[in-house]
Chain A
Amino acid sequence: MELVTKDRKTIDPLETIETHNNTAALTINPLESEAIYIFREVVAQFEKPVLLFSGGKDSITLVRLAQKAFYPAKIPFPLLHIDTGHNFPETIAFRDKLVEELGVELIVRYVQDSIDQGKVVEEKGKYASRNSLQTTTLLDALDEFKFDAAIGGARRDEEKARAKERIFSVRDDFGQWDEKNQRPELFDHLNGKISLGQNVRVFPISNWTELDVWSYINKEKIEIPSIYFAHIRKTFVRDGMIWSADEAVYREEDEVVEDRLVRFRTVGDMSCTAAVLSDAVTLEKVVEEIRASTISERGARIDDKRSEAAMEKRKQQGYF
């Protein structure tokens, strides 16, 4: 069997793919190759890397790529989950199963602890969310374990401030991103040299689009939490978006709860992640739906709608 990279071809889920067949050539996905390359650079250049695992599709994809990068060795770093306490129960069950199967270490740190310790103050009212509170818990966890590289699943196509991010993104002692003074990044020469106190955020799937991620999950038959598929859920509508009717989500009395057939495109804190109407029950259907969509993935994230520069401001403070 041959391992052939056609010039910069990405894998089209609609093409027939024969990987387990010993006579056919395998088409390599350059995005996958790039991500594996980045993973290996992280492990080679840093003393204590960690993978930020949210339980969402991007971090699940990262885990698969990490598995491929180091096979037959195990993934040589732990996973870190910053738990907002407002999770979809499905994703937590999924997380625990995945960790068990892979035999990797999982570290969980809770936003609730940061609140109890008085380090952050819970937001109140209609748009309250724990999303931005995560930053403090994350920075504390990086500090606690002396992690020098935190690998994240952010993609440049997600948001306009993310579009500016390097693959190795250096943060100062306070976890801050100096967006106006980033290191040049040339060819495949990734510079992971840092000074004491600094750390690096690493984004192996920077150049993937939402569709690339879904196509990959589909092609690799990667298991993902059920909330990514269409299901009936108790929901209410606010500002033209569909919200989960859950105790973690603030709801006014006049906001009517109804059963709807929905799925989630992105999985974050429940209080800031809206659902979309969908009847996509299979991966193929999800890929089709993304292909045809006219709304961006983060169009369903209330945290980005707070202000035009919401993401950049959060990133400056150390958000991932």
Chain B
Amino acid sequence: MEVLKIATAGSVDDGKSTLIGRILYDTQSLTTDKLEAIEAKSKANGFDYLDFSLATDGLIAEREQGITIDVAHIYFSSKTKSYIVADTPGHIEYTRNMVTGASTSQASIILVDARKGVIEQTHRHFFINNLLRVKDIIVAVNKMDLVDFSESVYEEIKADFQKMIDQSEYKEQNITFIPVSALLGDNVVTSSENMPWYQGNTILDHLESLEAQDVYEQSQMRFPVQMVIRPKQTDFHDFRGYAGKIYGDDLEVGDEVTILPSLTTSRIKEIYFFDQKFDKAGRGSSCTITLEDDLNISRGDMIVKNAERPNIGKQLEAKVCWMDTKELQAGTQYFLQSGSNRILAKIKEVSGVIHTDFSGEDTTANSLKLNEVGKVNILMSRPLAYDSYTENRISGSFILIDAHTNTTAGVGFVQ
């Protein structure tokens, strides 16, 4: 079965968790014991309806406050697909968790409260989905029951949202609008009788129509070496395998390859997956390869095809989404990690803070605060092989690790 990874987005209380809970309920994905727990808890809270957000808000603090704090990963299947849903928080304080959920998703459902329309957090979340280049966006105009299922309200919000889309640079993004009531289930899994003016798909029908694709799209082949496997056993005395995951494209025995950053070249001798050898391996597979020549290769190196070299350098420019309460400042050192490669790096310059409402940037700023996105110039202590994020996700993105606290402080997208 195909696996489709999706994330939710939108401001606090827009109904993200309720929507996911509703989908689970309407697709009979909630097991009896889980449903009973939701019924009991809803009743105890004095609600006269089922609070579906309880299906995903799994932390004590979340249920106490009625908000989502961190991503919940939810699994369900339809007849044709398996779904992995990242239900993310809407509160601005937890934006980093929203980015976490969206980074591995092919599609995002951005919710908008019909009473409030497009607000600051809607801008921010659409902007982040744009930055991450999430391919399919569903804008679910929610709580239609609270605006009398009004078509004009829906159309107004759609027009507002469209203004944002017009400013976006990622034109290939597929965007679909759907009016829903997550609480009552209108246009979630079943078509709404209250909105005869809407002829389009329900949320689930739309998801079902999407073709499941890896977030690591087709591009040039990249093989970051995770580790060298040297068994030191009699049967495999001289075995020297390079373990890693293939990104971008197929890899074949006989392929002429370059090892980065050393720029040495060789040819693929064998491709192992467990105890079997293959002539060819597709992207996404975690395999072990051997080369024709005995070269000095270690973790952090990258193997690419000869004709497809990425950039190699000690300096790069990136858009960085900052996720730490400690500000990012020029002159500070961080560890930059891209896949298996971790390099000591220094922020040379913050050249601007980008407004997440698409209204331009502030070029006077020289630091990045929590949840801000900015253009940053980075110097590295060793040369790094990298691509631009639009060309290759794995080699075009990185995280910045605080050298003192070791926390993941930011995520970068190479320009």
Q: Are B411 and A10 in contact (CB under 8 A)?
A: no
B 27-44 to A, binary, CB cutoff 8 A, 1 in contact else 0? 000011110010001000
B residues near A194, Cβ cutoff 8 Å? 406
Q: How far is the CB of B57 from chain A (nearest CB, A)?
A: 8
A295 vs B103: C-alpha distance when bound (angstroms): 32
B25 part of interface (Cβ distance < 8 Å)? no
Q: How far is the CB of A241 from chain B (nearest CB, A)?
A: 11
Decide: B393 and A5 in contact? CB cutoff 8 A: no
Q: Known contacts A72-B239, A164-B59, A186-B399: does B3 contact A8 (CB below 8 Å)?
A: yes
Which A residues are in CB contact (< 8 Å) with B408? 183-186, 191
* B183 in contact (CB, < 8 A): no
Contact between B397 and A187, CB atoms less than 8 A apart = yes
Confirm or deny: A71 has a beta carbon within 8 angstroms of a beta carbon on chain B: yes
Asked whether any CB of chain B lies closer than 8 Å to the CB of A279, the reply is: no
Report B-chain residues with C-beta under 8 Å of the C-beta of A295: 31-33
Tell which of A36, A37, A160 touches B58, judged by Cβ atoms closer than 8 Å: A160
Chain B residue nearest to A1 in the complex (CB): B278
State whether A186 touches B285 (Cβ < 8 A). Answer: no
- A171 CB within 8 Å of chain B: no
Number of A-B residue pairs at CB separation under 8 A: 217
* A282 interface hit (Cβ, 8 Å): no
**Does any Cβ of B come within 8 Å of A143's Cβ?**
no
B3 touches A9 (CB 8 A): yes
Cβ contact within 8 Å between B406 and A10: no
CA of A73 to CA of B241 in the docked complex: distance in angstroms? 10
Is B71 an interface residue when CB atoms closer than 8 A count as contact?
Answer: yes
Q: Is the CB of A207 within 8 A of B399?
A: no
* Min C-beta distance of B147 to chain A, whole Å: 32
| B314 is an interface residue with CB less than 8 A from chain A | no
Contacts of A122-175 to chain B: CB distance below 8 A: 156-157, 159-164
Q: Flag the segment in A62-70, A226-234, A253-261 that touches B.
A: A62-70
Query: A284 contacts the other chain (Cβ, under 8 Å)?
Result: no
- Whether the Cβ atoms of B276 and A73 lie closer than 8 Å is no
Interface string of B264-284 (1 = CB under 8 A from A): 000000011111111111111
CA distance A20 to B274 in the complex (A): 12
| Structural contact, A3 and B271, CB atoms closer than 8 A | yes
Question: In the bound complex, what is the Cα–Cα distance between A150 and B275 (angstroms)?
Answer: 26
Q: Which size bracket describes the interface of B in this complex? A: 35 or more
CA separation between A68 and B287, bound complex, in Å? 9
Cβ–Cβ < 8 Å partners of A188 in chain B: 245, 339, 394
Please encode chain B, from 107 to 144, with 1 for each CB lying within 8 Å of some chain A CB and 0 for all others. 00000000000000000000000000000000000000
B279 touches A10 (CB 8 A): no
Residues of B within 8 A of A191 (CB): 337, 399, 401, 406-408
**Chain B neighbourhood of A41, CB < 8 A:** 226, 340
Contacting pair B31 A4 (CB below 8 A) = no
Tell me the nearest residue of chain A to B281, going by C-beta.
A3
A193 adjacent to chain B (CB < 8 Å): yes
Is A247 on the interface with B (CB-CB < 8 A)? no
- A293 and B31 contact, Cβ closer than 8 Å, known pairs A1-B276, A3-B273, A19-B276: yes
**Least Cβ distance of B155 to chain A in Å?**
35
Binary A-proximity of B97-111 (CB < 8 A = 1, otherwise 0): 101100110000000
Residues of chain B within 8 A of A293, CB atoms compared:
31
A273 within 8 A of B: no
Assess whether B214 is in contact with A8, with CB atoms less than 8 Å apart: yes
The interface residues of chain A lying within 8 Å CB-to-CB of B4 are 8
Asked if B318 is an interface residue, CB under 8 A from chain A, the answer is: no
Chain B residues, CB < 8 A from A43: 227
Q: Nearest B residue to A40 by beta-carbon distance?
A: B226
- Contact in complex: A33, B275 (CB < 8 Å): no
Contact of B229 among A7, A72, A161, A313 (CB under 8 A): A72
Q: Is A285 an interface residue (CB 8 A)?
A: no
Interface string of B75-106 (1 = CB under 8 A from A): 10000001010000000000011011001100
B196-210, CB < 8 A from A: none
Give every chain A residue within 8 A of B284 (Cβ-Cβ). Answer: 5, 7-8, 28, 30, 33
The residues of A that contact B299 with a CB separation of less than 8 Å are: 44
A164 touching B70, Cβ below 8 Å:
yes
Q: Which of A180, A183, A189 touches B338 (beta carbons < 8 Å)?
A: A189
Chain B CB within 8 A of A26 CB: yes
| Inter-chain contacts of B273 with A (CB < 8 A) | 3, 26, 28, 68
Which B residues lie within 8 Å of A72 (CB)?
229, 231, 233, 235-236, 239, 241, 272, 275
Contact of A189 among B70, B84, B398 (CB under 8 A): B398
Q: Is the CB of A4 within 8 A of B282?
A: yes
| Contact indicator B274/A71 (Cβ below 8 Å) | yes
- Shortest beta-carbon distance from B5 to chain A in Å: 8
Contact A33 B245 (CB under 8 A): yes
User: What's the least CB distance linking B86 to chain A, in Å?
Assistant: 10
Q: Are B335 and A184 in contact (CB under 8 A)?
A: no
Q: Which 7 A-B pairs have the closest CB atoms?
A: A160-B58, A5-B284, A3-B281, A36-B286, A299-B33, A73-B231, A3-B278
Could you name 12 residue pairs across A and B whose Cβ atoms are closer than 8 Å? A3-B280, A6-B282, A26-B278, A28-B282, A44-B299, A68-B274, A161-B59, A163-B73, A186-B100, A186-B411, A191-B406, A295-B31
Q: What is A's interface to B at a CB cutoff of 8 Å?
A: 1-10, 12, 19-20, 26, 28, 30, 32-34, 36-37, 40-41, 43-44, 67-74, 156-157, 159-164, 179-180, 182-189, 191, 193-195, 206-207, 209, 293-296, 299, 308-309, 312-313
Q: A1-B276, A10-B1, A184-B97 are in contact. List 17 more A-B contacts (CB 8 A).
A: A2-B280, A3-B271, A3-B273, A4-B281, A4-B282, A7-B284, A8-B4, A32-B286, A68-B273, A180-B59, A186-B399, A186-B408, A188-B245, A189-B338, A293-B31, A296-B31, A299-B33
